[in-house]
Amino acid sequence: MCRFRSLLNSVLLIALIATGTLTVSAEDEALDADRVAFFESKIRPVLVRHCYSCHSADGKSVKGNLLLDSAAGIAAGGDSGPAVTAGEPEDSLLISALKHESFEMPPDRRLSDQIIADFETWIRDGAIDPRKGGRTIQRSEIDLEKGRTFWSFQPITQPSVPDVGTQWAQTEIDRFIAAGHMSAGVKPALDADADQVLRRLSIVLTGLPPSVERIFQFRAEWQADPDRAISAEADRLLASRQFGERFGRHWLDVTRFAESSGGGRSLMFPHAWRFRDYVIASFNDDKPIDQLMWEHVAGDLLPYTTARESDEQVTGSGYLVLGPTNYEQQDKELLRMDVIDEQIDSLGRTFLGLTLGCARCHDHKFDPIPMTDYYGLAGIFRSTETLTPGNVSGYVLTDLKTNADRDAFEKWSHRDSQIRQQIAEIRDRVAPNSPTLLASGELTGVVVDDRNAEYSGEWVESTSVKAYVDAGYRHNSGNAAEGGVTFRTQLAPGRYHVRFAYSASSNRSSRVPVTVSTADGEVTVVLNQQKTPAGDGVFATLGEFTFDDDAPAAVFVDAPHAGAGVVVVDAVQFLSLSDTADVSRQRKADSSEDPAAAKQTMRKLRQRLSELEEQLKQHGKQKPETPQAMSVRDLDSSADWHVHLRGSAHHLGPLTPRTALSVTMPLDADGKPIPLNINSGSGRLQLADWLTAEANPLTARVFVNRIWTAVIGEGLVRTPDNFGATGQLPTHPELLDHLAWNFIHRDQWSVKKLVRSIVVSRVFRIRSNGGAHPQDDPGNRLLTRAFRRHLDVEVLRDTMLLTSGQLDFSVQGGLTIRKLTQYDNGYDHDSLTPPVRSVYVPLLRNSILPMFDVFDMANANLVTGRRNVSTLPAQGLFLQNSSFVMAQAKLSAERLLKESTTADDRIDHLWLVTLGRLPEAEERSVVLSYVNDQPEDINRWAAVVQSVFSSLDFRYME
C-alpha cells in the first residue's frame, strides 16, 4: 500500500504540474526546475542511448511490455510491475535492473556506478519526469470476480434427482443419465449379458479376469436376479485385496509414482515402495480420501495416537518427494525452485484439476490464477525441506516407528555413541598443540567427577577452557560468597595419593583453599588456579593421606575464602599407595620429570585410537535395519516468498503472502480474498485444510470424476486433469455435483461407496453396441452405450501370467527391485522372479519394463488421470515376438495339456480364462482344424494361446 501511494502521488504530481492545475510557491518552482534540469541532463540521455531500442513505442519490439519513453510508460510499468517507486530507489525495479540484480538493463553491459547513483537520486527526489504524451501497454489482469463464475469454481450444490418415470433407470445415477436421453430423444443400448458384465466388473474392480468357477456361479445368480447378482459380486470384489491393487494403481498414476528420480543419471529410490504399499492399503481400508489428501500434503505434521498411524502419515507425505528431479543440478537455487514448481504443478493437477505451473512466469493466460497465487504456494513449499544438501542433492528420509527391533537399535545406538565419544576424546588428546582431555573411565584409581560432587550456591557448567575431565567442569562465576563444593567417596582403608583437577586460566583465583578430610584430621592445601598443573596439565597434587572406613573420604573446596577470581572444580583422583606402579608413574608425571612416560602414553593413545576406529567400522556393519520412508519436513524458519520475475530463480520481485488460490478464498469486507491464516510452520496444514474444505469446489469434483473415469472408461469431464478454461465442459454437470455432494456429505469421502454406487447402476451394465444408434450420440456424450475399452497393460500382463499359472499372489508389497544400484539405467527386468502382479513391478523412469512402454503405461513424470490409448504396429509385433509372451503361451499350453484331456475342453478352458466366455462355433472350428492332426503337440497349443493373447477380444473389454 505504501509503494502504491508513493507511485500514485508521483503520477498525480507529474500530471498536475503538466496541466498547470497545481499552484506552487516560487521556492517549489525553483526546486522543480532543478529536478527537471537534472532529469534532462542526467536521466533522459541515458534512457535514449541505452533503453529506447527495447523499451520505446518506436522500437522494433517492446521487451517485457515496458515503455520508458514517457512518464506514463514508466508509471504504468511492465509485466513485472511498476519500474519506479517514487521516493524509494531501493524498491524500484529499474534500479535493480541497472545494477544487474534482477533483469540486466542494458543487457550488453552494466552502466557505471555514477549513472546508477544519478538514477537513485532522481527517484529519491520524486522521479520528476516532464515528458508528456506517450502510450502504455494494456495488459490483461486477472478478474477474480468473473473467474468465480466459471463452472468449476462454482460451489457444489445438491441438485434434485430427475423424475424420469422410466423403468430403465434403477438408481439415482441412472435418472440423471436417463434425463439426458429423454431430452435428446435417444435410447440407451440393451443390457450386456452375464459374461460381459462379470468380466467388466472383475477387470474394473480388480484388474483381473474372473475365474472359470466364478463365471458359472455368476451365470446362475444372474439367471435368478441380475440386480442382486451384480450387487453381491460388487461387494465381494470390493472386499478383495485386489481392489486396492487396482484402484491404488489408478491413484499412483495420478501421484506420478516411480521408484527412480529421472533427470540426469536417474537415482533409484530404495524406499519408494512404501508409498506404493501405503496407497494400496489406503484403498483397501477405504481410508477417507480427504484424510489421504491431508497425509499427502502434511502427513509429517499431523497428530497421531499409534506408531502405525504416524508411519502411515509420514509415508503419505512422500507424495511431495516422488516427482522427477535432477538431483545432480549444480545450481542449487534453480534446483530448489524446479522441485517446488513440480510440487505446485502436481498438486494442482492431482487435487484441483488445474495447471498451476502456467503461473510461474506470468499470470495464468486462461484461468483466474494470478502469479502471486503461484508464489503464495511457493512460499509454503520453500518453507518445507524436500532436498538435502550435497554435490548430488538428496531427499528427506524419516525413520519409521514400526517394523523395527527398537530394543536392538537402541542398544546399537548406545554402543555407537560410546565408541564415537571415546574416539573424539582421544583424537583431541593426541592432536598437536591441543589441551589434554581425560576420560574418568580411563584413569586409574578412584575418580569423583564434578557431576557427582555436592554443591552449595550457584555453580555453572562450562567447557570454555580445555583441559578437563569428562564432559567439562564447573565454576562459580566469581560468586565466591555463595558456597563451596564437596567431593565425597567411600574408600577402602589405606593410604592414598590425592590429586585435584581444574582448568587453569588468568581469570582464576590464585589462592583456592582445598581441605582434605582424612583419618588423621583435616589438611588444607592452597591452589593457584592461574597456573597450569605440572604433568598432564589437569591434575594438581594435594598430597598423600590416610583414610579409614569410619567416614567417607572428602575433599572440600572453600570458595567463599578464595582470593579474587573464578574458582574452578573438575574432579578429584584417589590413588592407592598399594598400587606403587600407578603412584610412581603419577608422581613422575606431576613433577614433569619423565618425558619418556609421556611419549609412551601418547603411543598407547594412538594405538587405542586405531583399535576404536576399527571397532566403529565393524560396529557399523552390525547396525539393525531401520525402516525409513521418503518424506518432507518443515524447515526451522518459515517465511513468505518473492515473486520471481519472469519465473527466474535468481530474479526476485516483491514478497507475496503464503496462500492458496484466491478465486476460491472467502472475501473480506472490501471484497478481497483472505489469504490462508498461517501463523507458524510452513503452512502445509492450512493448505491441506483448504484443499479438503467443503467451500473448495474443485477437490471433490475432480476426485469423483477420476473414479467415474476409472469405472466407466471416460469421465463426466473428459479432461480429468484439467477443469480449467482449456479443459472440456462436463457432459452431465448435475450428475457430477450429485456425486460430489453425496461423496462429501453422505458417504464421508468413501471410495468404496462411490465405486459401488456406479457399478450397480444400469448405465454400467449396458452394451457397447446393440440397441443404440451411434449417429444419435456421437462421442457417446449422452452415455447411450458402454465404452469399448482398451485394457491397461497391467491387465494384459497379469492375465497372461494367470493363464500360465505363474502369477505369484504371495507377493503383496515390499521391495521388488531385485538388485539395488545407485542409478536405474540398464535395469534387468528379466530378473524379476517370481512373476508378481504388475502393480509391484519396479517402475523406473529410465528403465521401464518393455511391455509397459509398448502398451501405454502412464508416464511417471506426469499426473495422469487418463492414460493415452494407442493402436500401433509395435503392439502387434510385441505380442508376436516377445520372449515373455511366447514363454507364457508355452507354459499355458503345458497347463492345458496337463489339466484337460480333450481338445474341446482345452479350448473351452482357454476361452473362459482369457476372454471370460465360451468360444463361438467358428472359433472352435478353426482351432480344432489346427490341432486335430497333432492334438498333444505343445507347440501347436502354444501357438493357439499366443493367437488368443494377440486377439482384439483379449486386448479390449466390451
Cα separation of 857 and 836, whole Å?
Answer: 17
Average pLDDT over residues 203-226: 97
pLDDT in tens, 146-158: 999 999 999 999 9
Judging by beta carbons within 10 Å of its beta carbon (0-12, 13-18, 19+), is residue 170 exposed, middle or buried?
middle
Whose cell is 512422500? That residue is 318
The β-bridge relationship of strands 437-438 and 468-469 is parallel
Joined grid coordinates for residue 174? 441412472
Phi, psi (degrees; rounded to nearest 5) at 527: -110, 140
CA 397 to chain centre: 10
Task: Give the per-residue pLDDT at 532.
Answer: 83
Average pLDDT over residues 910-929: 96
Phi, psi (degrees; rounded to nearest 5) at 542: -95, -25
Q: 902: how many CB neighbours lie within 10 A of its CB?
A: 9
Judging by beta carbons within 10 Å of its beta carbon (0-12, 13-18, 19+), is residue 344 exposed, middle or buried?
buried
Judging by beta carbons within 10 Å of its beta carbon (0-12, 13-18, 19+), is residue 161 exposed, middle or buried?
middle
Mean residue pLDDT of the chain comes to: 88
Average pLDDT over residues 269-292: 97
Instruction: Say which residue, 671 or 377, is predicted with more confidence.
Output: 377
Tell me: pLDDT of 10 over 50.
no
Residue 95 near residue 89, CB atoms below 8 Å: yes
Task: Give the per-residue pLDDT at 413.
Answer: 83
Cα separation of 22 and 16, whole Å?
Answer: 5
Cis peptide before 106 (omega within 30 of 0): yes
pLDDT in tens, 119-139: 899 999 888 888 876 655 545
pLDDT in tens, 411-461: 888 888 888 888 877 776 665 444 456 777 778 889 999 999 998 888 888
Q: Which of 202-206, 352-356, 597-601, 895-899 has the lowest mean pLDDT?
A: 597-601
Instruction: Say which residue, 118 or 10, is predicted with more confidence.
Output: 118
Quick check: helix, strand or coil at residue 951? coil
Q: What single string gives the DSSP state of each residue in 670-693?
A: TSPBPPP---SS-SHHHHHHHHH-
Going by C-alpha positions, the residue among 692, 691, 659 that lies closest to residue 675 is 659
pLDDT in tens, 848-899: 999 999 999 999 999 999 999 999 999 999 999 999 999 999 999 999 999 9
Task: Give the per-residue pLDDT at 831.
Answer: 61
pLDDT in tens, 356-385: 999 998 899 899 999 999 999 999 999 999
Judging by beta carbons within 10 Å of its beta carbon (0-12, 13-18, 19+), is residue 802 exposed, middle or buried?
buried
Cα separation of 468 and 477, whole Å?
Answer: 17
| Per-state percent for the chain, helix, strand, coil, to nearest 5 | 45, 10, 40
Tell me: pLDDT of 242 over 80.
yes
Task: Give the per-residue pLDDT at 433.
Answer: 42
For residue 81, which amino acid is it?
G
Task: Give the per-residue pLDDT at 3.
Answer: 39
Average pLDDT over residues 663-675: 84
Going by C-alpha positions, the residue among 250, 233, 241, 311 that lies closest to residue 275 is 311
Whose cell is 447378482? That residue is 229
Cα separation of 214 and 233, whole Å?
Answer: 10
Task: Give the per-residue pLDDT at 59.
Answer: 67
Cα separation of 166 and 181, whole Å?
Answer: 11
Average pLDDT over residues 349-355: 96
Residue 939 near residue 933, CB atoms below 8 Å: no
Tell me: pLDDT of 953 over 80.
yes
Question: pLDDT confidence of 599, banded at 50, 70, 90?
Answer: low
Positions of E strands within 443-595? 446-449, 454-455, 460-462, 468-469, 473-475, 485-489, 494-501, 512-518, 521-527, 539-547, 553-557, 568-569, 571-576
Quick check: helix, strand or coil at residue 641? strand
Phi, psi (degrees; rounded to nearest 5) at 341: -60, -45
The helix or strand, by DSSP H or E, that contains position 931, with its residue range, turns out to be helix 921-931
Joined grid coordinates for residue 440? 574418568
Q: 513: how many CB neighbours lie within 10 A of its CB?
A: 19
Tell me: pLDDT of 663 over 50.
yes
The helix or strand, by DSSP H or E, that contains position 399, with its residue range, turns out to be strand 397-399
Instruction: Say which residue, 768 or 593, is predicted with more confidence.
Output: 768
Residue 331: CB partners within 8 Å, gap ≥ 6? Answer: 649
For residue 282, which amino acid is it?
S
* Of 5-19, 133-147, 385-399, highest mean pLDDT: 385-399
Quick check: helix, strand or coil at residue 790? strand
Going by C-alpha positions, the residue among 558, 562, 568 that lies closest to residue 456 is 558
Cα separation of 342 and 339, whole Å?
Answer: 5
Q: Up-side HSE of residue 90: CA atoms within 13 Å toward CB?
A: 0
* Of 408-422, 533-547, 778-792, 821-835, highest mean pLDDT: 778-792
Whose cell is 442382486? That residue is 228
Average pLDDT over residues 679-699: 94
453: left (phi over 0), alpha (psi -120 to 50) or beta: beta
Task: Give the per-residue pLDDT at 152.
Answer: 97
Cα separation of 617 and 612, whole Å?
Answer: 9
The helix or strand, by DSSP H or E, that contains position 376, with its residue range, turns out to be helix 371-382
Tell me: pLDDT of 843 over 80.
yes
Joined grid coordinates for residue 772? 443404440
Alpha helices in 39-147 (DSSP H): 44-50, 52-55, 71-76, 93-98, 113-124, 144-147
Cα separation of 885 and 891, whole Å?
Answer: 10
Instruction: Say which residue, 62 or 784, is predicted with more confidence.
Output: 784
- Percent of the chain beyond pLDDT 90? 59
Q: 103: how many CB neighbours lie within 10 A of its CB?
A: 22
Phi, psi (degrees; rounded to nearest 5) at 823: -120, 155
Residue 3: CB partners within 8 Å, gap ≥ 6? Answer: 82, 85, 88, 91
Q: Could you say which DSSP state residue 729 is in?
A: P
Residue 36: CB partners within 8 Å, gap ≥ 6? Answer: 128, 130
Joined grid coordinates for residue 23? 499552484
Rg for the chain, CA atoms, rounded: 40
Tell me: pLDDT of 508 over 80.
yes
Whose cell is 573411565? That residue is 441
Question: pLDDT confidence of 8, banded at 50, 70, 90?
Answer: very low
The β-bridge relationship of strands 521-527 and 512-518 is antiparallel
Task: Give the per-residue pLDDT at 16.
Answer: 37
Residue 767 near residue 191, CB atoms below 8 Å: yes
Average pLDDT over residues 152-175: 94
Please give the C-alpha separations between residue 224 and each of 19, 35, 214, 234, 327, in angstroms, as whole numbers. 92, 96, 15, 17, 61
Quick check: helix, strand or coil at residue 705? helix
For residue 816, which amino acid is it?
T
Tell me: pLDDT of 18 over 60.
no
Residue 826 near residue 848, CB atoms below 8 Å: no
Instruction: Identify any residues that bridge with 801 across adjacent strands, giving them in sequence order.
Output: none
Cα separation of 637 and 642, whole Å?
Answer: 16
Q: Up-side HSE of residue 598: CA atoms within 13 Å toward CB?
A: 16
Task: Give the per-residue pLDDT at 420.
Answer: 86
414-431: string of b/e by CB count within 10 Å (b at 16+)?
A: eeeeebeebbebbbebbe
Residue 255 near residue 319, CB atoms below 8 Å: yes
Q: 407: how many CB neighbours lie within 10 A of its CB?
A: 9
Cα separation of 313 and 307, whole Å?
Answer: 10
Average pLDDT over residues 92-116: 84
Question: pLDDT confidence of 481, banded at 50, 70, 90?
Answer: low
Task: Give the per-residue pLDDT at 587.
Answer: 58
Instruction: Say which residue, 759 or 480, is predicted with more confidence.
Output: 759
Task: Give the per-residue pLDDT at 381.
Answer: 97
Tell me: pLDDT of 767 over 60.
yes
Task: Give the per-residue pLDDT at 12.
Answer: 38
